[in-house]
Structure 1
Amino acid sequence: MLRHLRPTLVLLAALTLVTGLAYPLAMTGIAGALFPAQAQGSLVRNPDGTLVGSALIGQAFTSERYFHGRPSATVAPDPADASKTVAAPYNAANSGGANLGPTNPALIDRVKADVAALKAENPSDPVPQDLVTTSGSGLDPDVSPEAALFQVPRVARARGLSEDAVRALVAGQVQEPSLGVLGERRVNVLALNRALDAQGR
Structure 2
Amino acid sequence: MPTPLRPALVLLVAMTAVTGLAYPLAVTGLAGALFPAQAAGSPVERDGVVVGSRLIGQSFTSPGYFHGRPSATNAADPADAAKTVPAPYNAANSMGSNLGPTSAALAERVKADLDALTSENPDRPVPVDLVTTSGSGLDPDLSPEAALFQVKRVAKARNLPEERVRDLVTGQVEGRLLGVLGEPRVNVLALNLALDDLARK
| Aligned residue identity for 2:65 | Y
2:98, 2:183 → 1: CA distance?
A: 23
Q: Which residue of 2 aligns with 1:34?
A: 34
Shift of 1:128: 0.2
CA distance in 2, matches of 1:4, 1:146: 64
DSSP 3-state at the match of 1:3:
coil
Show structure 1 runs of 5+ residues with no match.
none
Q: What's the counterpart of residue 120 of structure 2? A: 121
Structure 1 equivalent of residue 101 of structure 2: 102
Q: Secondary structure at the match of 1:199?
A: helix
Offset at residue 181 of structure 1 (A): 1.1
Does residue 170 in structure 1 map to residue 169 in structure 2?
Answer: yes
**What's the % identity of the aligned pairs?**
73
Which residue of the partner structure matches residue 157 of structure 1?
156
Q: Deviations over 1:139-159 (max 9, x none)?
A: 000000000000000001011
Change (3 A) 1:82 1:2: farther
Which residue does 1:73 correspond to in 2?
A: 72
d(CA) in 2 for partners of 1:199, 1:147: 20
Could you tell me which runs of 5 or more consecutive residues in structure 2 were left unpaired when the two chains were aligned: none
Measured in 1, the distance between the counterparts of 2:198 and 2:89 equals: 26
Whole-Å Cα distance in 2 between the matches of residues 39 and 185 of structure 1?
Answer: 24
Using the TM superposition, give the Cα deviation of residue 2 of structure 1 relative to its aligned residue in structure 2, in angstroms.
Answer: 6.0
Give me the whole-angstrom Cα distance separating, in 1, the residues matched to 2:71 and 2:120: 20
The equivalent residue for 2:20 is 20
User: What is the match of residue 45 of structure 1?
Assistant: 45
In structure 2, give the amino acid aligned to 1:35. Answer: F
Give, as a single letter, the amino acid of the residue that structure 2 aligns with 1:26: A
Give the distance between the partners of 1:105 and 1:166, measured in 2 at CA.
37
Map of 1:88 onto structure 2 = 87
TM-score of the superposed pair, with normalisation by structure 2: 0.98
Q: When the two structures are aligned, how many residues end up with a matched partner?
A: 200
Consecutive aligned runs of 4 or more in structure 1 exceeding 4 Å deviation: none
